Amino acid sequence: MYEQAKHECGVRYLCALRHKKGLAWFRNYISDKDFSEKLLTDFFNQYQLGNKGEWGKWILKDGLSQQQGLGI
């Protein structure tokens, strides 16, 4: 469970950076980092679904959002 929460936190952090800093900055930032394929795939999916890195937010593919720790 801890690993999944850590993973989702990392995805939200990337979403927040992409949203706040812009595409050009973000591309430059990730170009010299060694992120796992799963992290980048989940980031891409979450960002496309509208996740901008808000605390605890995880958007499910059916359009619903889930707040971590609230069980909803």
Tens-digit pLDDT profile for residues 17-54: 999 999 999 999 999 999 999 999 999 999 999 999 99
Does 41 map to a domain?
yes
Does 48 map to a domain?
yes
Q: Which domain holds residue 46?
A: 2-67
What pLDDT is recorded for position 62?
A: 72
C-alpha to C-alpha distance for 53 and 42, rounded to whole angstroms: 12
Does 72 map to a domain?
no
Does 60 map to a domain?
yes
Cα–Cα separations (whole angstroms), residue 63 to 1, 23, 48, 51, 58:
23, 24, 11, 11, 10
pTM for this prediction: 0.81
For the chain, helix, strand, coil in percent to 5 are: 55, 10, 35
Domain count, the chain: 1
